[in-house]
Structure 1
Amino acid sequence: MFTFQVMGGKSIRAIIETSRPEIFARVRETYLAHHRGATINPNSYFLRFPEKPDARIIALPAALRADGDADGGPAGDANGGPGDGTARTGTARTGVAGIKWIGSFPGNVAHNVPRASAVLLLNDLETGYPFACLEAAQISAARTAASAVLGAEQLHGSRTAGRLAVVGAGVISRNILEFFHALGWSFDRVAVHDRVEEYARKSAGHAGALGYRTSVHTTLAGAVDGADVVVLATTAATPYIVEPGALAPGQTVLNISLRDIGPELIAASHNVVDDVGHCLNAGTSPHLAVEKFGHRDFIDGTIAQLVLGELPLGPDKPRIFSPFGLGVLDLAVGHEVLRIGREDGRVQDVPDFFAEVERW
């Protein structure tokens, strides 16, 4: 009960590199668990800084109950034991609670430092005691990428496309490219655009190393026009894709950075989100559209509904997936990475982390 363990980012990255299909499946499972009520996922809390208005540190608390325990019954794993991350056989999963604490400082990019840094704490559902701390920038990027590729698969309808447009050549889009590759996606071309051409060339070079034909575009339209799938992974704080017709009917748009698309374009598109209440918050493009038009009729539903076949989307409009980012995804992916890390001997024990383990 009182074991506490730590995993560093390099070990986590190594596990992710060999486990992307498993992480993708775990993200898919977790969306379905969230849909059936087997999660607790309150609103994220944003710590903002008046002197740095574009920067924030975000707390994402959440809990993922054991499979089948959607009614709020006793916590713990599916065998009645504590949810301390102990690996189990079969398809049922242990429950877990926790919090991701992630800093987003866009100014870092100018110094060639990643925008995001994070830690993930995992808690036992029976006692509330934390049992692990994981470097979570890698976990956050992996769950975001897996979510994006799941959205692409569901909205596009296959794992084959003509052109993939990548807008924003950073850590997130790099992870998305790696998940596309790991899941067997084929593209005729990967077109990359970034305001900094050097970053775009590096991203295109990475896509080329994965086996894709690539091109670098100095304009947004040059990358996006004619693309079957568009990835928006920028640090934009306000919409810049605002011109009518900027997105084409039937085009799949992964609105990963959430604030790139103007409210008029959102309202004129099919819109799928991860959680309606969460996504209509914090100045996202769908949130701005609700504020502008006074309704949410343009929201078709959630990614889980799409997976379950409950959202038929026509080819008459662009298809936009806007995942706000659910804390339960970080828990699920972090828990899975911890399980593999324990098996591989990549986890560090912290002896005597808790000073008192008995009341008297």
Structure 2
Amino acid sequence: MLILGNEQVRSLLSDADDEVLAAVRAAYVEHERGRTALPHSVFLRFPEEQRNRIIALPAYLGGDDPVTGVKWISSFPGNVAAGQPRASGVIVLNSVHTGVPEALLNAAVISARRTAASAALAAATIRSVVPDTGIALVGCGVINGEVLRFVTRAMPLVDTVTLFDTDLARAEAFAADCAHRHPGLKVEVAADIATALGAHRLVSLATTAVTPHLDGGQLRPGTLVLHLSLRDLTAATVLASANIVDDVDHVCRASTSVHLAAEQAGHTRFVSASLGALLLADEPYRRDERGLTLFSPFGLGILDLAVSNLVRRRALARGVGTELADFT
């Protein structure tokens, strides 16, 4: 059993942004080709506090280097006010031949970066006729920090970021961190959410919202919304937009905005395509310049496996991690 802690994982991925993007892309393609096994995620919730949850994401990812395992990750939004991470978890990789657990990895960095890489891949794939040069980040937490990292990598024309968070001090601290990590990037803090939503035609929503609170009226025509938190936009907004998802069956669960829209409509025909299908398409996808396009990724366990396998390969090549010989 190879054991890798948080800082080891972070170090192993520090110079691997392009490889993470490639791994996430390959996972979507394998999924679209039917070379994955992806049971529904299991949500453990607590009667006393419905915002808190722990999720199990089992998966199998086929291809040239198949991998299987499970992510067990918690989300406790109240941790942030106490100065602790909102999300924490572990990933177990099993042998595809014997089922024996082979690796135990801290999930925090892997989970955040696979989510952000997914968003950046979508932004680079769901193109506008007018190239995006700015992005608005709503929610100044870990996820949007990683989104900025990968969007600027995948879309080098992006040179401006507008920030909004309900906690102004948090937004200002995030802005200072952005200026440090991304020298040359113009960073603005919006006074209100309406200003942020209207600043650019590329918007990333990464909040802790549990019920829809945005109707999309403050978004500019032609905007692509990376709807990572999945529960910000109203069902009516979803139904009035072009919709790209990672997996329609998975995203129509757990009271996501897409799930609520499907219940309201009685069907899922409002979903235009999956990201995997767009990646395999012969022609580039052009987003609706007069309306809104939403990318709503449920967050597939195959992405965690893809990035975890990359981390494991790098760890073995560099001799990083703790080997527990008597685990099995």
1:58 counterpart residue number? 55
How many angstroms does 1:298 deviate by? Answer: 1.4
Q: Is structure 2 residue 316 aligned with structure 1 residue 345?
A: no
How many angstroms does 1:158 deviate by? Answer: 8.6
Counterpart pick for 1:107 among 78, 90, 95: 78
State which drifts further: 187-196 or 205-214: 205-214
2:306 counterpart residue number? 332
Q: Is structure 2 residue 121 aligned with structure 1 residue 150?
A: yes
What secondary structure is seen at the aligned counterpart in 2 of 1:161?
Answer: coil
CA offset digits 1:298-336 (Å, max 9, x no partner): 110100111123765432321110000000110111011
CA offset digits 1:48-95 (Å, max 9, x no partner): 100111111000000112x2xxxxxxxxxxxxxxxxxxxxxxxxx321
2:161 counterpart residue number? 190
1:16 counterpart residue number? 13
Report percent identity of matched pairs.
Answer: 42
In 1, distance between residues paired with 2:309 and 2:133? 36
Question: Over aligned residues, Cα RMSD in angstroms?
Answer: 1.6
- Structure 2 residue identity aligned to 1:15: L
CA offset digits 1:96-119 (Å, max 9, x no partner): 110000001111111121110010
CA separation of 1:101 and 1:229: change in aligned 2, threshold 3 A? same
* Residues 279 and 323 in structure 1, CA contact (< 8 A), matched pair in contact too: yes
In 1, distance between residues paired with 2:130 and 2:13? 21
2:136 counterpart residue number? 165
* Residues 159 and 185 in structure 1, CA contact (< 8 A), matched pair in contact too: no
In 2, distance between residues paired with 1:165 and 1:330? 26
TM-score, normalised relative to structure 2: 0.95
What secondary structure is seen at the aligned counterpart in 2 of 1:296?
Answer: coil
* Residues 136 and 203 in structure 2, CA contact (< 8 A), matched pair in contact too: yes
How many angstroms does 1:257 deviate by? Answer: 0.6
In 2, distance between residues paired with 1:269 and 1:225? 17
Q: Is structure 2 residue 257 aligned with structure 1 residue 285?
A: yes
What secondary structure is seen at the aligned counterpart in 1 of 2:158?
Answer: strand
* Residues 70 and 92 in structure 2, CA contact (< 8 A), matched pair in contact too: yes
1:71 counterpart residue number? none
State which drifts further: 121-130 or 151-160: 151-160
Gaps of 5+ in 2: none
**1:121-160 mapped onto 2 (5 Å cutoff):** 121-157=92-128, 160=131
Question: Aligned residues, how many?
Answer: 324
State which drifts further: 254-263 or 172-181: 172-181
What secondary structure is seen at the aligned counterpart in 2 of 1:12?
Answer: helix
In 2, distance between residues paired with 1:18 and 1:59? 28
Counterpart pick for 1:322 among 293, 296, 311: 296
How many angstroms does 1:156 deviate by? Answer: 2.8
In 1, distance between residues paired with 2:119 and 2:78? 24
- Structure 2 residue identity aligned to 1:155: I
* Residues 163 and 187 in structure 1, CA contact (< 8 A), matched pair in contact too: yes
In 1, distance between residues paired with 2:195 and 2:60? 43
- Structure 2 residue identity aligned to 1:348: T
* Residues 70 and 93 in structure 2, CA contact (< 8 A), matched pair in contact too: yes
CA separation of 1:278 and 1:252: change in aligned 2, threshold 3 A? same
* Residues 61 and 68 in structure 2, CA contact (< 8 A), matched pair in contact too: yes
How many angstroms does 1:12 deviate by? Answer: 0.7
Q: Is structure 2 residue 22 aligned with structure 1 residue 25?
A: yes
* Residues 164 and 231 in structure 1, CA contact (< 8 A), matched pair in contact too: yes
In 2, distance between residues paired with 1:152 and 1:141? 17
- Structure 2 residue identity aligned to 1:104: S
Counterpart pick for 1:241 among 209, 214, 222: 214
How many angstroms does 1:157 deviate by? Answer: 4.8
Q: Is structure 2 residue 194 aligned with structure 1 residue 221?
A: yes
1:302 counterpart residue number? 274
CA separation of 1:158 and 1:104: change in aligned 2, threshold 3 A? farther
* Residues 10 and 109 in structure 2, CA contact (< 8 A), matched pair in contact too: yes
Q: State which structure, 1 or 2, has the greater radius of gyration over its C-alpha atoms.
A: 1
What secondary structure is seen at the aligned counterpart in 2 of 1:186?
Answer: coil
Q: Is structure 2 residue 174 aligned with structure 1 residue 203?
A: yes
CA separation of 1:131 and 1:255: change in aligned 2, threshold 3 A? same
1:116 counterpart residue number? 87
In 2, distance between residues paired with 1:159 and 1:124? 46
In 2, distance between residues paired with 1:142 and 1:159? 27
In 1, distance between residues paired with 2:133 and 2:21? 22
Counterpart pick for 2:245 among 273, 281, 291: 273
* Residues 97 and 125 in structure 1, CA contact (< 8 A), matched pair in contact too: yes
How many angstroms does 1:184 deviate by? Answer: 5.1
Gaps of 5+ in 1: 68-92, 355-360
What secondary structure is seen at the aligned counterpart in 2 of 1:246?
Answer: coil
**1:2-13 mapped onto 2 (5 Å cutoff):** 4-13=1-10
- Structure 2 residue identity aligned to 1:57: I
In 1, distance between residues paired with 2:178 and 2:242? 29
* Residues 124 and 154 in structure 2, CA contact (< 8 A), matched pair in contact too: no
